[in-house]
Structure 1
Amino acid sequence: MANQGAKKRREENTRHMNNLFRIIIVSNAVYILLRAGFFYSTFTWLHWIGLIITSGAYYLCYKQLESMAKPAYTDDGELLDGGFDMSTGGACGYLHDVIYITCFVQLTSIISGKFWWIYAVIPAFAAYKGWGLIKGFLPSGSEGIGEDEKTRKKREKMEKKASRGKFVKAKGR
């Protein structure tokens, strides 16, 4: 019964990574089969570049997720940790988003090359998140501005009210 949670997470991660691998393989196969096979007359060198870019995005994201999902074992082979929980947000969620957006762009670009513009969402979102991070380190310009009398009095009143303890009436028995 020991390490049941770790064993369960290892199995979930293995199943999840296998599903992601299938999605990636099917997307690439459909793209190559339809775009390079069926619509061969319109398949140009730009499409090869697109295939290389999407394959690179798949590879980088999948390898990062694979390293996160890798379980940890002791020297004698006992399971210590089942790996990172793939259902959490943060970097893991962003990597999943990149894989799913890449899949969408790759499959819809079979219909029209204009769908490649959707791929611009990824660097735009990264710039948005990065700007929020950078902005936190920059000094804010409002420190030198003094507050007016009304705002100061209101703030002092709220601070005084917050510093007083709250009294709770207890019912007598």
Structure 2
Amino acid sequence: MAQKAAKQLAARNTTILNRVHLISLGNNVFFLLLRLIVYRAKYTRNTLLLYVLLSAPALAIEFWLEKIGRPTYAENGELKRSGEDLEAKGLTEFMWDVLYWTWACIAAAALLGNKAWWMYAVVPAYSMWMASTVLLNMRKGMAGMVGGNGDGEEADGAGDSKKQKKLEKRGAQKVQYR
């Protein structure tokens, strides 16, 4: 039972990566079949150029996930490295979002045409929204650490407890923090 968690992670990563490769292959073949054979796009050159440019991030992410997530085994079949957790939060989660959205854009472009690629503009918009949310939360957190209200001014007793207010009412000195 040695390395049970590592073996489970390796099995889960292998399953996830195999499923991702099959979905990606199916999605890309679907696009190529529909756009180039069934619809015979009027501007095939533009269609292929947009397809290559806008599906490149998904392919890069897929190869990156393959590199970090695929388990490696020794010659005797023993697990050497289970790979990184592909269900981790943070950047890995964002990569999955971009991958899924790119697949959706590819499928929409296959069915609706080149104008569906404009859906891809959601990715940078979402990134900017997330960055602004993080920055605002950091600013609020930093303001709370220095005892101010975020404008460089100190709060006027708004953070005082009830006990401190009662003591001040009786004439006790206000406690000042440096």
Question: In the alignment, what sits opposite 1:126?
Answer: 127
Identity across matched positions, percent: 25
Pairwise CA RMSD: 3.0
Residues 147/91 of structure 1: CA separation in 2 closer, same or farther (3 Å cut)? closer
Q: Does 1:32 align with 2:32?
A: yes
Gaps of 5+ in 1: 162-173
Letter in 1 for 2:91: A
Give the alignment partner of residue 144 of structure 1, picking from 142, 152, 158.
152
Higher RCO by CA contacts (8 Å cutoff, separation 6 or greater): 1
Give the alignment partner of residue 155 of structure 1, picking from 159, 164, 167.
159
Q: Does structure 2 retain, via aligned residues, the 8 Å contact 1:73–1:81?
A: yes
CA separation in 2, counterparts of 1:157 and 1:57? 52
Q: Does 1:102 align with 2:102?
A: yes
Q: Does structure 2 retain, via aligned residues, the 8 Å contact 1:36–1:43?
A: no
CA separation in 2, counterparts of 1:108 and 1:29? 13
Structure 1 residue 28: Cα displacement: 0.7
CA separation in 2, counterparts of 1:88 and 1:26? 26
Q: Does structure 2 retain, via aligned residues, the 8 Å contact 1:35–1:43?
A: no
Structure 1 residue 49: Cα displacement: 1.6
Residues 134/142 of structure 1: CA separation in 2 closer, same or farther (3 Å cut)? closer
CA separation in 2, counterparts of 1:159 and 1:54? 61
Question: In the alignment, what sits opposite 1:18?
Answer: 18
Question: In the alignment, what sits opposite 1:168?
Answer: none
Question: In the alignment, what sits opposite 1:52?
Answer: 52
Once the two structures are superposed, what CA deviation does each residue of 1:68-122 show, in whole Å capped at 9, x if it has no partner?
Answer: 2133678x98535422222233211111111111111111112323322211111
When normalised by structure 2's length, the TM-score is: 0.72
Structure 1 residue 29: Cα displacement: 0.5
Structure 1 residue 5: Cα displacement: 1.5
When normalised by structure 1's length, the TM-score is: 0.74
CA separation in 2, counterparts of 1:117 and 1:158? 55
3-state SS of 2:85 partner: coil
Question: In the alignment, what sits opposite 1:85?
Answer: 85
Residues 155/24 of structure 1: CA separation in 2 closer, same or farther (3 Å cut)? same
